[in-house]
Structure 1
Amino acid sequence: MTLSVNALPDDQSSIRRMMSQFFDATSDAVLFLNRDFIITFLNRRAEEILAPRGYILGISLWEAFPAAAVPDSPYWINYHRTMNEGISTRFEAYYGDPLNLWFDVHALPSDDGIILFFRDATRGRANREALVEKTREVEQQLAEIESLYRTAPIGLALFDLDDYHYVRLNNRQAAFFGLKPEEIVGRTLTEMAPIEGLRELFDQVAHGGPPVVNFPLEGALVTDPDDYRYWTVSYFPVTGPDGVIQGITAASLEITQQKKAEQALMESEKLAAVGRLAASIAHEINNPLESVTNLLYLARHSNCIEDAQQFILQAETELQRVAHITSQTLRFHKQASSPQEVSGKALMESVRSVFHGKLVNTAAVVEERHRDAPPVRCFEGEIRQVISNLMGNALDAMPHGGGRLLLRSRKAFDPHTGAPMLVLTVADNGSGIPKQILEKIFRPFYTTKGIVGTGLGLWISQEIVDRHHGRMRVRSREGKGTVFTIALPYDAVSR
């Protein structure tokens, strides 16, 4: 196809005018060159781009734009090819000073020369380059995210809502099962982890309920049903643009080794508590046994049957005391397999009886007050361990020559939920705890007793109370004393 405007007769000026108006109305710049590369026509857009400061009509293209006249420039090569060979060419090229623009040029042959259609491609080119750079950045970010996802130290997985199939999962999640991710994709949640209550957690999230955050999960997996394990899990909904839930994402951190270490520490602390109480218990048993020995000696050598009977009755009383101490000691360290109902008074008195010898030696005055309160359902051996730890700390903090130990139990109500609770209080008028230390007392291995303390007592006590869904609070003033309060819900135990 060839085009020629100059071929129009001079008397057809109206047609020339119409065509000029047509070219001026186009968004592209239009330029006509005769066979000597003289500019014979340019539309308004071409004037705006190429001649903002001068008149170039009737001037050689190479004179008007000398940078294009370089033999190896794309302008020189393509314009000559179109002019000499009659071939349409299209190219994109940069023109420097004074234009400093990128052009998208389309050169068409005509009877009298060539017609150039071109547009300013600078912004478009910059946009494309920016898009390419943005795409590269996004791809790099996606690669980094994918790398983090695959190598994250916690298990990550995505589930659909159709029976909760694995859609994708990372290496750590697959490692829980000892498999590769591709061996798990497509299998269902309960197929891989038949843990009681797990599906109900997913149903909660899938039906628009609150997300599950840092939930303690325990059980066995299908690939190793004999290995009981522990996790902290979080489940969140995945929504589409319309806000409709389309899936569930899961994050799982296995804490089995941490749990086993905690359990070992607790057992270690329990054994340490037994050792600390052994001397007190031995003293408590030794005193009545010495009395029994003396009373039996007196009864055997007495010539009066009434006196002998009286001695024997006294010996029987002392033996009952020994039996009571033994019973309380065994009960104190009994690990119940199921929770028991026990009153606050019984918990306090059983621990106090074990500390009877230490109370006498320190000349401590014990003040007890137990208001009417129903028994609480708990693992009583564990709660006795907590009370024992608090009572032992209180006696250690008391001044020489005696002090006051206050033991209280009462019924109260949770200020947030209104649920009934049993409140136990152990208070003393000892040395108190400095403010800077008070913030650290529940940390594991933190102790102010030097080599005598393990630093585990209060930490484990806090763990026990937390497992009973209770709360432990402490108030203390240096030089005035300390008050520990334990609040236990009546229906808190679930294990």
Structure 2
Amino acid sequence: MHPLGPPVGSEDDTVRQQMAQFFELTSDGIQFLNRDFVITFMNARALAILSPSGEVVGKNIWESFPEATRSDLPYYESYTRTMNERVATEFEAFYPEPLNIWFHIEAYPSDDGIIVFFRDITEDKRKHEEFRKKSEEAERQRAEIEAVYRTAPIGLALFDLDDYHYLRLNNRQAAFFGLKPEEVVGRTLTEMAPIPGLRELFDKVAAGEPIVNFPLEGALVNDPDEHRYWTVSYFPVYGADGTVTGITAASLEITNQKKAELALIESDKLAVVGRLAASIAHEINNPLESVTNLLYLAKTSQALDDAQGFLDTAERELMRVAAITSQTLRFHKQSTSPQAITAEQLIASVLSIYQGRIVNSGVEINLRHRDARAVRCFEGEVRQVISNLVGNSLDAMATGGGRMLLRSREGVNWTTGERGAVITVADTGSGMSPEVLAKVFRAFYTTKGITGTGLGLWISKEIIDRHRGTLKVRSREGLGTVFSIFLPYEAVTR
């Protein structure tokens, strides 16, 4: 029987023609196979898809394959089952050369054999494979990001805006509190970190203002007696409508670094005191010798007026000793609150300690002060900076004397527009080469051999940075060096 039904002219001719029209118009390829697996009919779509295989109508679909390899064909089992068991089968299979096509195939039993509907799904497969690969890549990246987030050496957290509850945090952030992340989720910021001013910082971020590299210090709920230090950055999280929906936080704990830095600062203070010891002893020894002589003269004097004059002079010498002692005692004393002091007072207090060394070295001091306004700062720290610079200048002129210029004036930080005091320490000493100048503020770098610690200028810059100021240097080998300090008038506000 014809695969499309009865011959032309029968009463079913219209039906046959409709079926033929359907077979030709459908987007599926259609094959009829007789019981010997010979292709008896292919519609236009099937012929177009299988055209690379050449003429196939009238051929057995297995004849080009050795019998030993037929069971390896992707459609052999399904076609055989449909043919023998008279059941419909549906499957997907890849047809290799010369087609290189993925098909979705449906096989149905018929009176004369089987009818096969097949559709080219190569593009769908390609898109599916691309989607699968992208999904796998996205999952891999998500897993990598999650691993980085979880094991990052800095604390990471996400907060809501409702009293700043922890929504998510990594292991490092939870370790600040000695807990696991799941033990912190749901708790509030101030519950875990009752640090003054921290909530106000979050309020700013919630209003859309990022906080970047902010120095935070205080105690946490798990150890209220330990003072700790962090560098923190807080950023607003925006929703699709542009409103802030949360806050992300990145926190790097620098407690150990801070303690080491403070220890180095204390170490340098001791080193400075050691370097000044000879000068201080000389400064005290001279007036004490004078006092001894004056007391002897007063004791042996026959005239009361002369004795009174000797005693008055001795008193002045003792007051000088007392002043030197007072300056020495407070030289490195760290106050817990800032003080207002002028640049002239800071310079004078340093020179009083170095007076003996200045005289002995033959260095001429040239002073000029054009700014009488006080700077609010930690005077002990700033005095330490000026002492380092004066000491280094004296070292640079140790062999042949020279001139040291000490200046103060009003200046402006042109980056911020803030006004402040500019203190200049310049000398006519040996100067520095470009190579030395490039490393001058590096910790432990020194040109003084075993007599230097390499900490003085590094710590000096750290101190000035903490006062929101700047420390700059200019130098030419053989021509001298100029250090310039800028301190805002309100260098420290609390």
| TM-score for the superposition, normalised by structure 2 | 0.94
1:452, distance to aligned residue in structure 2 (A): 0.6
Partner of 1:402: 401
Q: Which amino acid aligns with 1:10?
A: V
Paired with 1:319 and 1:137, the residues of 2 have a C-alpha distance of 83
Residues 61-96 of structure 1, C-alpha deviations (whole Å, 9 max, x = no match): 334677898245343322222123221001222333
Partner of 1:464: 463
Secondary structure at 1:412's aligned position in 2? strand
Contact conserved, 1:373 with 1:422, CA < 8 A, in 2?
no
Contact conserved, 1:68 with 1:76, CA < 8 A, in 2?
no
Paired with 1:395 and 1:191, the residues of 2 have a C-alpha distance of 54
- The 5-angstrom pairing of residues 174-189 of structure 1 reads 174-189=174-189
1:14, distance to aligned residue in structure 2 (A): 5.5
Secondary structure at 1:51's aligned position in 2? helix
Q: Which amino acid aligns with 2:110?
A: S
Partner of 1:158: 158
Partner of 1:81: 81
Alignment pair present for 1:104 and 2:104: yes
Partner of 2:413: 414
Residues 41-74 of structure 1, C-alpha deviations (whole Å, 9 max, x = no match): 2122211121246333233333467789824534
Note the aligned Cα RMSD (angstroms): 2.3
Partner of 2:94: 94
Residues 322-351 of structure 1, C-alpha deviations (whole Å, 9 max, x = no match): 222222222323322211111111111111
Partner of 1:31: 31
> Using a 3 Å threshold, how does the CA distance of structure 1 residues 58 and 366 change in structure 2: closer, same or farther?
same
Paired with 1:6 and 1:320, the residues of 2 have a C-alpha distance of 129
1:421, distance to aligned residue in structure 2 (A): 0.5
Alignment pair present for 1:190 and 2:190: yes
Partner of 1:423: 422
229-238 vs 343-352, which moves further: 229-238
Residues 248-277 of structure 1, C-alpha deviations (whole Å, 9 max, x = no match): 221111111111111111111112211211
Alignment pair present for 1:45 and 2:50: no
> Using a 3 Å threshold, how does the CA distance of structure 1 residues 430 and 94 change in structure 2: closer, same or farther?
same
Paired with 1:74 and 1:327, the residues of 2 have a C-alpha distance of 100
- Structure 1 gaps, min length 5: none
Residues 358-404 of structure 1, C-alpha deviations (whole Å, 9 max, x = no match): 00011110000001331111111111111001000000001533210
Paired with 2:59 and 2:68, the residues of 1 have a C-alpha distance of 14
Partner of 1:443: 442
Contact conserved, 2:87 with 2:108, CA < 8 A, in 1?
yes
Paired with 2:346 and 2:111, the residues of 1 have a C-alpha distance of 113
Percent identity reads 66
Paired with 1:44 and 1:241, the residues of 2 have a C-alpha distance of 51
Contact conserved, 2:52 with 2:98, CA < 8 A, in 1?
no
Partner of 2:335: 336
Q: Which amino acid aligns with 1:396?
A: D
Partner of 2:168: 168
Alignment pair present for 1:6 and 2:13: no
Count the aligned residue pairs: 492
> Using a 3 Å threshold, how does the CA distance of structure 1 residues 461 and 231 change in structure 2: closer, same or farther?
same
- The 5-angstrom pairing of residues 55-70 of structure 1 reads 55-63=55-63, 70=70
Contact conserved, 1:344 with 1:409, CA < 8 A, in 2?
yes
> Using a 3 Å threshold, how does the CA distance of structure 1 residues 72 and 405 change in structure 2: closer, same or farther?
closer
Q: Which amino acid aligns with 1:48?
A: A
Partner of 1:247: 246
> Using a 3 Å threshold, how does the CA distance of structure 1 residues 151 and 297 change in structure 2: closer, same or farther?
same
Secondary structure at 1:336's aligned position in 2? coil
> Using a 3 Å threshold, how does the CA distance of structure 1 residues 53 and 37 change in structure 2: closer, same or farther?
closer
Contact conserved, 2:53 with 2:99, CA < 8 A, in 1?
no
Partner of 1:257: 256
Q: Which amino acid aligns with 2:78?
A: N
Partner of 2:349: 350
Partner of 1:235: 234
Paired with 1:63 and 1:14, the residues of 2 have a C-alpha distance of 36
Paired with 2:257 and 2:98, the residues of 1 have a C-alpha distance of 72
Contact conserved, 1:397 with 1:430, CA < 8 A, in 2?
yes
1:17, distance to aligned residue in structure 2 (A): 4.2
Secondary structure at 1:355's aligned position in 2? helix
Secondary structure at 1:62's aligned position in 2? coil
Partner of 1:137: 137
Paired with 2:146 and 2:69, the residues of 1 have a C-alpha distance of 52
Contact conserved, 1:399 with 1:431, CA < 8 A, in 2?
no
Paired with 1:121 and 1:227, the residues of 2 have a C-alpha distance of 67
| TM-score for the superposition, normalised by structure 1 | 0.93
448-457 vs 414-423, which moves further: 414-423
Secondary structure at 1:297's aligned position in 2? helix
> Using a 3 Å threshold, how does the CA distance of structure 1 residues 67 and 418 change in structure 2: closer, same or farther?
farther
